[in-house]
Structure 1
């Protein structure tokens, strides 16, 4: 694997690209000391290229900023076995929200005490698996779940520690699909409607459950701390009410995640040290005013830890100019490896990374290969005027919700995840193959013994007659 050449320069927009991303003297990008043309040659395209040093640096920054708090990495952003090990090695906790994510954690022996289990509709099987593994905390999200979990815990002969998820009625000023703090949504118990108080009482009444705290999450891709401040104010108020009504001071308060990252140069992400200082100070002030012991604070960064660590590497297939309208640049991936543009109208940028481009630029629409007119990777992207088939382009900020939300639409295999560090590259999630796509199909019936629809109807009639 080729390493960066001496004399490489950054030459990249601040906040958009991974920590070790550079432009070489010949115009080729390198990440983690590995040239992207070498990555494309060895691993193919499209591919997710993950800068391990970037993730670890962000993990350190969060751990230090929230030094006396619990930092849970939100696994839904991206999770695989190697990455779960990195989370463990960096001393972070892990937030999972399905049995599948829990299975990843279990498969690498992630410490159960440092696991948090989310989800608005956990199955009985998932609850049993969590209790069996002795997951540290389960966030209860409905009255039905409280009953289910209490029964599971009693059958296992343990007291399961839980947090109650509260809907604090806070508008996060983000896309409606990723805004989760307002009253009208599927998560949690309403604070204003009184459901949160009733849920607390229900948990306290169950001998198999130990209520250790409250949880709230107001949304994602947030660039303003005001919403977090209002949520903290309301949640501390509920803690005081619980103390006054039940004589219990809960020791934990989890305020979720949601800090935004830069997808384009117009985005201005918040500084984690500043956010930590503000939140910790605010919670302390609110508790002092109400005479409460300050609870241990929990936060759940996902996108903020992994989003900027990864670029998606594509190869250009066609360039189609529509005079007077626009130019479409088609790449070999698309909505199957990044649904966010179609789902949230998310905005991205991209750049040519395999050679120097022409001095003149053109604004193009970067599109994918799928049979959907909405298969757009990025709108209004300035690319060199001479972009052509065979060029490599990279889309930054691809680490969160790209591979984890990827699909096989049009039966397109999902891309690999290639971890790069110190001049070496390794596959941590392999590329899917056509054999993978066919593996779940049941074998077709033998034509020699196939049954017609008329014969099936006759058989049904015979069964009814019997």
Structure 2
């Protein structure tokens, strides 16, 4: 079994994370339960930052909070000196409640509302990453009303396709995100913002995809941006202070995934930008990146209690857990694959291959199709690994299932950071016809 961070098998044969027995966690906080290895998150944050320090360039490592957002997570990111990428008023409000430094917050989104933009400008966020002309008009209106200047990055699509799942490609020309680099949209946007005093144009942003296992796409994107910047430097004397190359750095979910070291991404991205800007005789910009999954993905483990079973002769045996697509919708959406073990019987040898089903009333609610496990008993605990990204953040109340609790573990201690929803929480916003 491949372990991440502080994961290990303790003397009881139980899975232990952060020095805490996961069986004990299940008893204390209930299941399903999201467990985060805080030490591993800290380690990943430090790896990104150290790689930039060695490169000698100014940088910001912004946590892409869509991967997992909560007050405690934002406070942890703040402790580690990260910046923050938010994409909605909800994520921004959470950051404000966490007392995250506003100058290190970047607001994203392809359809930001007037209210979201006003909220960000009132909060004095570090920058707004602008996606379209409509958004520019809204920002201009707000800034004129408030007498403010808004720092912005222009998000552009460089036409680079990452080697990843089609559903999560975002850098190619046919994308809902950003100004296209080659059809003239990006240049038109640049001309517009340079002519307006209400915009402080920091530079450019791009994001080419997710779960990427090589550096080629990032290097090609940096080259295309640098080439266009050279042209704009000659035409408009535009010299970006910031070049944000997004995120998408891959992690290992199963043996099929082969991620490269964090330092390799940073080193090759910085080298490519340095080379191009030196060649074009332009000042080196500050490099920003936006890791999300690569900071929290493999730091998260979800534990479930195993319940019912169904044996289909000559086909397979199904075992159902007390969660599923309500707490991890990625297998249903993306056919995402995971590894798992029995948290309470880690030393037992695999005896059978089973399918792990969720409890939602959907035939597509399957977490893992072919999983080798020991002979299962009702009440065993199943630990599904690498659920730290897009588990809780995409959790839902389908079938009115309550969203799980979230626990941080570190140095032998556990801390509840998100409460399990109650039945009363489910009907909190419901209104009766008779009252």
TM-score band by shorter chain is over 0.9
2-structure distance, mates of 1:113, 1:358: 51
Aligned to 2:276: 286
What displacement does 1:203 show? 1.1
State the SS of the aligned residue for 1:219: coil
Task: Specify whether residues 205 and 431 from structure 1 end up closer, same or farther in structure 2 by C-alpha distance, changes over 3 A only.
Answer: same
Aligned to 1:441: 430
Q: How does 1:26-425 map to 2 (within 5 A)?
A: 26-67=12-53, 68-356=58-346, 358-384=348-374, 386-425=375-414
2-structure distance, mates of 1:206, 1:363: 63
Q: Which runs of 5+ in 2 are unaligned?
A: none
Moved over 4 A (4+): none
What displacement does 1:426 show? 1.3
Task: Specify whether residues 271 and 357 from structure 1 end up closer, same or farther in structure 2 by C-alpha distance, changes over 3 A only.
Answer: closer
Do the aligned residues in 1 keep the contact of 2:350 with 2:372 (CA within 8 Å)? no
State the SS of the aligned residue for 1:76: helix
State the SS of the aligned residue for 2:394: coil
Do the aligned residues in 2 keep the contact of 1:357 with 1:387 (CA within 8 Å)? no
What displacement does 1:319 show? 2.4
Q: Which runs of 5+ in 1 are unaligned?
A: 1-11, 447-466
State the SS of the aligned residue for 1:104: helix
Deviations 1:18-67 (A, max 9, x none): 31111113321111111111111110100001111111111111111123
**Matched residue count:** 431
Deviations 1:266-323 (A, max 9, x none): 2111101111111111110111122221111100000000001110001100222211
Task: Specify whether residues 55 and 360 from structure 1 end up closer, same or farther in structure 2 by C-alpha distance, changes over 3 A only.
Answer: closer
1-structure distance, mates of 2:216, 2:369: 30
Task: Specify whether residues 250 and 360 from structure 1 end up closer, same or farther in structure 2 by C-alpha distance, changes over 3 A only.
Answer: closer
Greater radius of gyration (CA): 1
2-structure distance, mates of 1:228, 1:283: 10
Q: Which moved more, 1:297-306 or 1:416-425?
A: 416-425
Aligned to 1:25: 11
Do the aligned residues in 2 keep the contact of 1:34 with 1:420 (CA within 8 Å)? yes
Do the aligned residues in 1 keep the contact of 2:306 with 2:382 (CA within 8 Å)? yes
Do the aligned residues in 1 keep the contact of 2:38 with 2:410 (CA within 8 Å)? yes
What displacement does 1:197 show? 0.9
Do the aligned residues in 2 keep the contact of 1:94 with 1:116 (CA within 8 Å)? yes
Aligned to 1:457: none
1-structure distance, mates of 2:123, 2:252: 37
What displacement does 1:423 show? 1.2
What displacement does 1:157 show? 1.1
State the SS of the aligned residue for 1:306: helix
Do the aligned residues in 2 keep the contact of 1:151 with 1:208 (CA within 8 Å)? no
